Amino acid sequence: MCGIIARVGYTDAVNELMVGLKNLEYRGYDSAGIAVTDGTQIDVCKTHGEIGALRSALKARSLTGAVGIGHTRWSTHGPPTDANAHPHTDDTGRVCVVHNGIINNHEALRTELQAGGHTFTSETDTEVVPNLIAAGLREGRSPEDAFRDAIERLEGSYAIAALIEGSNTVYATRNGSPLVLGLGEETSFLASDVPAFLEFTDRVIYLQDDDVAIVRPEGFELTALDGTPVDRDIRTVEWDANDTSKAGYSHFMRKEIDEQPTSFRQTIEGRTADGTVELESLPPGEFADTREVVFVACGTSLHAAMYGARLFHRRGIRATAIRASEFAHDPVPLDDRSLVIAVTQSGETADTLGSLRVANETDARTLAVTNVVGSTAAREADDAIFIRAGPEIGVAATKTFSSQVGVLALLAERIAVDTDADPGNPAVLETLAQLPEHIQAVVDSPATAQLAERYRHADAYFFVGRGVGYPVACEGALKFKEITYDHAEGFAAGELKHGPLALVTPNTVVIALFTGRNDHLTLHNVEEARSRGASVIGIGPESSTDVQAAVDEYLSVPSVHPELAGILINIHLQLLAYHAANLRNRAIDKPRNLAKSVTVE
């Protein structure tokens, strides 16, 4: 949700700010802008629309300065207009800020500031921030004190970077929204995500809530909000710039689908040995006291958690997957034998963090399953397991789903053994080791492109599955609706007759998922749809000849353990959505109204 970039150095900042914004465009693309300073005045250029619109606007301007801030917006308060685009200044232009998050008390602050003579030109919550800082400056406070005092007045979630006229300093802080400091040889950066500046440095500091960063060309200071110095580790990011480029692909989404053999291999590498599961800092027996598992997650991560819950059930472990947006405000009872697992690609999803914090207030143990080392979820949970999928830029998650399910499969095996619920299943571990080559076979299949063309004019697409096939059906429908904008829904196969059949017409396509377990039951449900005129595309094991004969089209996957077949089936669904969206000329990497990391509730 919105992308922030700041650059501090000795040479002109404009080009590096624009590179950072382009790299952050997956976080929002309603509008964009930059502000730079030469140490005296601040110049701002911003416009509604995508980064290309800002680049065009800059051609007519002459912005120069070695220090600057930038922003690409996903709208929360006010529509995407030039006036609502960031950066925002106070009414004199002396203070300029970019902001990610939501200021909950902005209306009260705006009223107070207006009563004091400040004027506003936008509908955003952000505009109160530069005016609060400016009010402090008018009262004689130093820039640093004015910034700190303003931040102390804010309620809500935010990552903020500010310029103040007459200085070559960036003042920044965070509360509930991500912000990372990048340290180059002669330049420093601040950004919402590491990919923003990965082309320039891989040395980073992940800021924590209420950290204040004061960044100048000659160096930086980190303090708490009250001015007390704080010490944060400098980490080296293992990703490189090629990981965050399209590398010749038309879309990040297709590149990331194709990366899944590699990303999944990274996920499981070194985590199985002699038929057992090894999870870094979590030694055998670590989960011996666990009696129930509660997953909290959103979107694609929720579907991975739903999949994981079914894997846990198969190992005799009580498990439930709950939408984080619900759990945070209506939690289930927890005790000291509960394990709450927060599944989040970014580790910064606001609803999931809210659920994690609720769980942390109980006696339950918490665990983050995430892709980002140094993320808030990884820091705030009692423990963390990293899915190691590498950076994912496309808004529609692909490789991270596969890697999340892979980690949860490993975790199910480990907890089953630790708790004596089940001696473990060597066949599952063996299949996990073989999956990268099986994933490659599915990625290389051309069949989905042909089916996308054949059924492109359907009115609706229903995805149905049973067991682990049900969360995969939900995920397939989510991918399809996200990037094609067509009506797509995921159902448990047995639920078709309990309502959804009323929507089936001869212009409906049913995509039925077969895992090799209870497929005869799913076939009965498929026949209910076919008898009402729907076309049926089946996806399942290549060995299921009876299923192939009962559907209109069939996409096969290598025959593997039924509990893990859904990972392979899902890749066909990703490709189906991708090709369907491409035929419709959709903005595949930047679907309308959506952003990659949802950091506001």
Cα separation, 89 vs 82, in Å, equals: 13
Q: Is 45 a catalytic residue?
A: no
Beta bridge mates, 512: 464, 538
Write out the H or E segment, with its range, that includes residue 15. Answer: helix 14-23
What tokens does 547 get? 């299923």
Cα separation, 47 vs 58, in Å, equals: 10
Q: Is 46 a catalytic residue?
A: no
Ramachandran region, residue 281 (left: φ > 0; alpha: ψ -120 to 50; beta: rest): alpha
Sheet bearing 235-236, strands edge to edge: 42-48, 31-37, 67-73, 3-8, 188-191, 180-183, 203-206, 235-236
Cβ 517 vs Cβ 562: under 8 Å: yes
Give the count of alpha carbons within 13 A of 352, CB side only: 36
Cα separation, 265 vs 252, in Å, equals: 20
SS (H, E, C) 368-435: EEECCCCCHHHHHCCEEEECCCCCCCCCCCCHHHHHHHHHHHHHHHHHHHHCCCCCCCHHHHHHHHHH
42: helix, coil or strand?
strand
SS (H, E, C) 465-482: ECCCHHHHHHHHHHHHHH
Cα separation, 338 vs 354, in Å, equals: 17
What tokens does 532 get? 């009402």
Q: Report angle CA 541, 577, 530 to the nearest 5 degrees.
A: 60
Give the pairing type, strands 365-370 and 338-344: parallel
User: Phi and psi dihedrals of 472, rounded to 5?
Assistant: -70, -35
Residue recorded with tokens 């009962």: 550
Cα separation, 61 vs 56, in Å, equals: 9
Q: Which of 2, 96, 298, 474 is catalytic?
A: 2
Q: Which residues contact 211 (CB under 8 A, 6 or more apart)?
A: 173, 174, 222, 223, 224, 230, 232
Whether the link from the prior residue into 87 is cis, omega within 30° of 0, is yes
Beta bridge mates, 96: 89, 163
Cα separation, 243 vs 239, in Å, equals: 6
Q: Which amino acid makes up residue 233?
A: D
Q: Which of 22, 399, 590, 596 is catalytic?
A: 596
| Residues designated catalytic | 2, 596
